[in-house]
Structure formats: C-alpha cells, structure tokens
Amino acid sequence: MTFCDKKYYNKLSKSFSKFLEHYLKYGYQHQLCGSPKGMSAPSYGRFKELTSLIDYECDFKDGLCKVQRKYDVAVGDSNPKCCCAGCGNNIGYLDYIPSYEDAEQLWKIYSPVDGFWTDKGCRLPRNIRSVTCLIHSCEMNYSEPVIWLFDILRNGIHSIDEYYLQHIGFYERGDCGSHIKSEDVYKHLKSRLQYERNIRITNQAHMDEFEQMKFSW
C-alpha cells in the first residue's frame, strides 16, 4: 500500500494526518508520490549524496555560520537557524516524498517549530534533502563540477544527457541507455568532486603550515 492510497490515508493517526495536510498545503512543491525528473528515487538520491563532497563554505563556529557571526547575538540580531529558519513551515522544502513509509519516518523527526533543523545542523541525510536546500549557498565559490551537479539535481535526466555528451562521449549502447548513462555520469562526476575536495584539503594543510610560520622582519 502506498502513501497515496486513499484507503490508507483514512486510517492514519491524527497527528500524522496533520503533518501530511500541512505538507500538502505548505510543502514546497506538494508532490507526494512518484519519482522526480524521470529518475528512480534511489538513483536521484545518489546524486544528492554527492553534495557531501562540496564545501558550502558556511564555516560554522559555536553554532553560528560566518554570516550570523557578523551580527550581535546578545541583542537578538542574530538568528542561529539562519537560512533554515523557514524549515518548519515548509517541511524542509521537500520536493517529493516517495512513499508512506518515508513520510512516516520524516514525521517522527519533524518539529513544527524547527522543522528538521537542530543546533548541530540538519537532521536529514543528504540523499533525501530537498534540492532547494542542497543548492543553496549564499557565498560559495562554485566550481564547474559543482555547477553540473546542481544542474542535474534541478533538471534530472536532461542534464545527465548533456553531461554525458560533453564529458563522456556519444552513447551507442541500446535502449536501456538512461540507467547506464546515469551510472557513468555519477561515477565521472564523483571522481571530479573527490579530486577537487582532495586539492582543497591539501591546500588547507599548506595554509595551516604557513600560518604557523613566524617571520623575523
């Protein structure tokens, strides 16, 4: 039985029904069933997972990001929830919820006040976070692979086709192409993002080394 089955919906507990009704009314795109952009949910989720290789440059310290640290917390100018302040009302800006089981799990960790936000960060794993959340950064230094990944999250299979053509080549392997292309693009993009992350970590190590150097003039 699926989330969209009316018979099931009628049997739901009151507070869970309330959560669903709120999602239908205020959720970002109000999609309850099916898969996004012509991809299966697990396949789409893997591309979302790749965002864990990105440095969003929020630079959290003591529970505040670099933007919030510019304000004075003591006089109430700062909002620690920052760009996640609308999470409760928008139910994490979720693009879609694929099944009843997923919806129930989300409901159990959702708070009407904070949504999925905690003072230690977002509760949701990357593979189910919304595209709205994953592509948001107010001051990130966007590299080419990051731009591609965000395009794929926004446009799904169309951007996968485009990436394949530009980075891998022509496709000549029969009719079940979408699945294989998506696999190839996932691996290709992952290795580029990993490479970038390693360079960043190496550079950071150098920077730390330089910061410790003491000059005498």
| Distance of alpha carbon 27 from alpha carbon 89, whole angstroms | 8
* Residues 43-82: x where in contact with ligand SF4 by CB under 6 A, - otherwise, as a string: -------------x-x------xxx--------------x
Contact 54, 149 (CB under 8 A): yes
Size of the site for ligand SF4 (CB under 6 A): 21
Strands (E) across the chain are located at: 117-118, 121-122
Length of the chain: 217
SS3 61: strand
CB of 23 to ligand SF4, least distance (A): 13
Q: Site residues for ligand SF4, window 93-112 (CB under 6 A)?
A: 93
CB of 103 to ligand SF4, least distance (A): 15
Measured from the CB atom, the residue of 125 and 177 that comes closer to ligand SF4 is: 125
Q: How many CB atoms lie within 10 A of CB 111?
A: 12
CB of 163 to ligand SF4, least distance (A): 25
Distance of CA 105 to the CA centre of its chain: 18
Take residue 161 and report the two structure tokens written for it.
């086709």
Measured from the CB atom, the residue of 136 and 190 that comes closer to ligand SF4 is: 136
CB of 210 to ligand SF4, least distance (A): 25
> Can you give 32-52 as a three-state secondary structure string?
CCCCCCCCCHHHHHHHHHHHH
Binding site for ligand SF4 (CB under 6 A): 56, 58, 65-67, 82-84, 87, 92-93, 115-117, 122, 124, 129, 133, 136-138
